[in-house]
Amino acid sequence: MKIIVNGETVETVAETLARLLSEQGLGDAKVATSVNEVFVPKTARDGQPLNDGDRVEIVAPRQGG
């Protein structure tokens, strides 16, 4: 299926958000996530299904003012 990850269209077989993070090489990274503009806590990633067209955001700490 195709989903949108950080604004880019991605072809994936990941059925959950946790699997998508592993697929992206971020399984153990310090990141936070949302699906379709709703925050998904780390503890809920395993149970968060992904569907065709979902919009996923993956963010990490960054410089800020």
Partner 1 sequence: MPVFYGTEVASRLMLGTAQYPSPAILAEAFRQSGAGIATVSVRREAGGNRAGQDFWALIQDLGVTVLPNTAGCHAAREAVTTAQMARELFDTNWIKLEVIGNADTLQPDPFALIEAAAILTDDGFQVFPYCTEDLVLCERLVEAGCQVLMPWGAPIGTGLGLNNIYGLRSLRAHFPNIPLVVDAGLGLPSQAAHCIELGYDAVLLNTAVAKAGDPVAMARGFALAVEAGALAAEADPMEPRDMAAPSTPVLGKAFL
Give the interface with partner 1 as residue ranges (CB under 8 A): 5-8, 24-26, 29-34, 37-39, 41-42, 57-65
Contact 10, 2 (CB under 8 A): yes
Closer by beta carbon to partner 1, 1 or else 59: 59
Closer residue to partner 1 (CB): 41 or 52? 41
Helix (H) or strand (E) holding 3: strand 2-5
Closest distance of CB 15 from partner 1, Å: 18
CB of 26 to partner 1, least distance (A): 7
**Rounded Cα distance, 55 and 7, in Å:** 8
The count of C-alpha atoms lying within 13 angstroms of the C-alpha of 13, restricted to the half-sphere facing its C-beta, is 0
